């Protein structure tokens, strides 16, 4: 997955992929130096869980 990574005030992370934001539940904090950076994230499928979310 590639996109623009943004950090929220409460320590969460959001990856903006085109029009779709992906919210991340983090095991450890991400350094503030990567806020608003373009990133690529690779995760094994056995480590991914999806949860429904309605806006």
Contact predicate 30/24, CB 8 Å: no
55 residues of the chain, pLDDT tens digit each: 899 999 988 878 899 988 888 888 777 888 889 899 999 988 888 888 877 777 6
Q: What is the pLDDT of residue 55?
A: 64
DSSP reduced 3-state for 45: helix
Nearest by Cα to 36 from 10, 15, 11, 18 = 15
């Amino acid at each position: 997955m590639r996109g623009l990574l943004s950090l929220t005030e409460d320590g969460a992370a959001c990856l903006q992929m085109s029009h779709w934001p992906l919210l991340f539940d983090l095991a450890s904090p991400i350094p503030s130096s990567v806020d608003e950076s373009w990133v690529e994230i690779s995760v094994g499928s056995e480590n991914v869980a999806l949860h429904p979310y309605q806006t």
